[in-house]
Structure 1
Amino acid sequence: MTSGSGLVVVDKPADWTSHDVVGKLRRLARTRRVGHAGTLDPMATGVLVIGVEKATRLLGHLALTEKGYDGTIRLGQTTNTDDAEGEITASASAAAVTDEALHAGIAKLTGEIQQVPPQVSAIKVNGERAYKMARKGEEVELKARPVTIHDFTVKEIRRDGDLIDLDVSIACSSGTYIRALARDLGADLGCGGHLTALRRTRVGPYDLSMARTIEQLTEEFAILPMAEAVAAAFPRRDVTEDDARKVMHGGKLPAAGLGPGPVGVFAPDGTLLALVEEQGHAAKPLAVFVP
């Protein structure tokens, strides 16, 4: 017997892949129908949103929401993966980098920017993952992509000889690579940089206060019901019985002016019916959840 449909907010441990977490939750939920919204690198810890059963249909929409991170950037060393998992490929003293230069460099990486993904990433190039090509020694040419860094705050600066460690807090759009920010900050300052620690603190409305460790979930498998998950993440629209019947059969509703993104539609009794998207004067179903 499965645990029903809903979301599980996991505090991913270090050295686990996102796929490892999915595999564990498939066993705990007793179903194969489990997926995640937005991969976390093995080195990273923190919020990983998992969908179980029907909630897997929410994941693509949740993956597009804003994310929050706490991390540590080391200036003075470059690695081939842009993080501590890789090999150091260059060293240059960061001792002469002033606090003013640090903040100026961070200001350049705040707002709407163009970011080149790391060479070792899951981006596909001609049908093959970039990290597989990089491991074979092939030079991967990845195109810059627009991302938005809403906030890039330095919490602490620690100097140790030729190295500087920066503890930072970042809020950004989907698709942002934090290790690429570390790489680009180091390149701008002329000393190189890479990411040594990363913890995701938030995916959309789901944060660490809601997250459970693997140990906690093994002891008690807590699941956030679909209706609560949708109400937390998207605008809510309550409809009449007539409109509920239309939505249940895949029909469109008049737009209600709730914005361009997904909107959760609920029946008069509070049952989650669907996610819809407003296009012009109509609200078109993206996913219908009732039989």
Structure 2
Amino acid sequence: MGGPNGILLVDKPGGITSHDVVARARRALDTRKIGHAGTLDPMATGLLILGVGPATRLLTYIVGLDKDYSATIRLGVSTDSDDADGEVTGRAEASAVAALSREQLDAAMAQLTGRISQVPSRVSAIKVNGRRAYDLVREGVEVDLAAREVTVSSFLLRAARPADEGCLDLDVAVACSSGTYVRAIARDLGAALGVGAHLTSLRRTRIGEFAVEDAVAVDAIGAEGLMAPAQAALRVLPEALADPDQARALRQGKRVADLGGAFSGPRAAAIAPDGALIGVIERRGAEVKSIMNMPEEPHP
């Protein structure tokens, strides 16, 4: 019998790192072979997608998916990390925050919606000369990150309420492309309004077709919570059904004809007659070929 194999959705609590979650999963599932499809900061909560066993090969097709977040942005205070874990670097007058109108908020949020140029937070995990930016910042090294193009497809204000020391808390919902930093959105919103801002809470609620409602708590991680590779792949890619001969040929790395018209797009999840995931196939002219194969699942 092989070891555990599948995709695991975890609802990460605040106060621990994503790597802490991976370590707990390794212990609970008794395997070292676990990867993730993007981390969350220690203060953040919500959906973390882990690949277990051979299913780690699927993470490549998950990591770049769009994401949804719910967050709280505090207007009136800036921090060096753009979130509540950092040191305060500036405070606005309470009167300036109180003078902000809904029209000003809407206009500033609209400027941060769509295809935008964003400078990531200095304490992000982006590598600079082979080292993580947050490690360099902790050592006192000045980090200057280049702007990158990201897409914020939706930036909605859910509620606004007074906060401590004359600040204003905004509860927002953000839908964005992979690589977007919600902390940077908070920072840029505060700058646009002239009062500074930082993120006080962040929860990831969706990655592609994977939702936090389907995730397990860290303390409930177990083999029974694993999503089968085929089920996970079909949330990311269209389905292409193979007959026994085609399945055998694809697993042997051969090109297969007559399967290419069965799906739209350049790639698909090839499914064997028994429902198992053969792998990911790609069009090669009138034929298809596996670009990622899963090991054949043993039969009882």
- TM (norm. structure 1) is 0.93
2:54–2:295 Cα contact (<8 Å) kept:
no
1:78–1:194 Cα contact (<8 Å) kept:
yes
Letter in 2 for 1:174: S
1:109–1:181 Cα contact (<8 Å) kept:
yes
Measured in 2, the distance between the counterparts of 1:182 and 1:46 equals 19
> Can you list the C-alpha shifts for 1:38-91, whole angstroms capped at 9, x where unaligned?
110000011101111011111121011111111000111110000001011001
Going from structure 1 to structure 2, the CA distance change for 1:119 and 1:279 (only over 3 Å counts) comes to farther
Segments of 5+ residues of structure 2 without an aligned counterpart are: none
Measured in 1, the distance between the counterparts of 2:29 and 2:185 equals 36
1:2–1:31 Cα contact (<8 Å) kept:
no
Instruction: Write the mapping of 1:150-189 to structure 2, written as runs, cut at 5 A.
Output: 150-160=153-163, 162-189=166-193
> Alpha-carbon deviation of 1:281?
4.9
**Residue in 2 that maps onto 1:67:** 67
Measured in 2, the distance between the counterparts of 1:18 and 1:59 equals 15
Which of 227, 232, 250 is the equivalent residue of 1:229? 232
- TM (norm. structure 2) is 0.91
**Residue in 1 that maps onto 2:22:** 22
**Residue in 2 that maps onto 1:268:** 273
**Residue in 2 that maps onto 1:55:** 55
**Residue in 2 that maps onto 1:259:** 265
What secondary structure is seen at the aligned counterpart in 2 of 1:200? strand
Measured in 2, the distance between the counterparts of 1:156 and 1:82 equals 20
Measured in 1, the distance between the counterparts of 2:246 and 2:2 equals 31
Runs of 4+ in 1 over 6 A off after TM superposition: none
Measured in 2, the distance between the counterparts of 1:88 and 1:202 equals 30
> Alpha-carbon deviation of 1:280?
5.7
Letter in 1 for 2:277: L
Measured in 2, the distance between the counterparts of 1:47 and 1:19 equals 14
**Residue in 1 that maps onto 2:80:** 80
Segments of 5+ residues of structure 1 without an aligned counterpart are: none
Letter in 2 for 1:170: V
> Can you list the C-alpha shifts for 1:171-215, whole angstroms capped at 9, x where unaligned?
111111110000011111111111000011011111122111012
> Alpha-carbon deviation of 1:246?
2.5
1:28–1:221 Cα contact (<8 Å) kept:
no
Q: CA RMSD in A?
A: 1.8
> Alpha-carbon deviation of 1:251?
2.8
Measured in 1, the distance between the counterparts of 2:243 and 2:117 equals 45
